[in-house]
Amino acid sequence: MSASDLPTRAIVATVETQDFWDATAEGRFLLRRCNTCEAVIWYPRSHCPICMSTDVSWIDAAGTGVVYSFSITRAASGTWKGALPYVLALVELDEGPRILTNIVGIDVDDVRIGMAVKVVFEDAIEGSALYRFAPVTT
């Protein structure tokens, strides 16, 4: 699966992120939620950064959100040079966390703050899948 021509890489999972990357390979986007204070946590980790509880669970996220902020990269070197121009964005998920990602599937000059987006997955090198976001089309 490929939603863009952006470079991909091999996933380096850790004990804290293995379940997350296993889920992306299945087309699912997981978040951690604290069972003590109910904070939704990004990035995946084994404790809550708000109350320090280690009582955290995985939840299936909606995979939708809005563009909170973004920049258009028009100059790069190395692997990313061939992908120019591309969008680096902060997406605010419906569950609350803001995550750094790329916006794909749209002309870079048409990206707007507040635009509704949804997660898309792209094959990573050596299994699993990377997450990126694309506009919600009606």
- Nearest approach in angstroms of CB 97 to Zn ion is 13
- Nearest approach in angstroms of CB 40 to Zn ion is 10
* Size, binding site for Zn ion by CB under 5 A: 8
CA angle 31/83/79 to nearest 5° reads 85
Q: Which residue's entry shows tokens 């995550």?
A: 99
> Cβ closer to Zn ion: 10 or 50?
50
- Nearest approach in angstroms of CB 29 to Zn ion is 21
Strand-pair category, 86-93 with 40-41: unpaired
- Nearest approach in angstroms of CB 91 to Zn ion is 22
> Cβ closer to Zn ion: 39 or 90?
39
- For residues 23-82, which are near Zn ion according to CB under 5 A? 34, 36-37, 39, 48, 50-51, 53
- Nearest approach in angstroms of CB 33 to Zn ion is 9
Sort residue 97 into left (φ over 0), alpha (ψ -120 to 50) or beta.
Answer: beta
> Cβ closer to Zn ion: 37 or 76?
37
- CA dist., res. 104 & res. 4, Å (int): 6
Neighbours of 86 (CB within 10 A): 21
Hey, what long-range contacts does 20-23 have (CB within 8 A, 24 or more apart)? 20/44, 20/58, 21/128, 21/129, 22/128, 23/58
> Cβ closer to Zn ion: 11 or 56?
56
Residues at the site binding Zn ion, with contacts judged by CB under 5 A? 34, 36-37, 39, 48, 50-51, 53
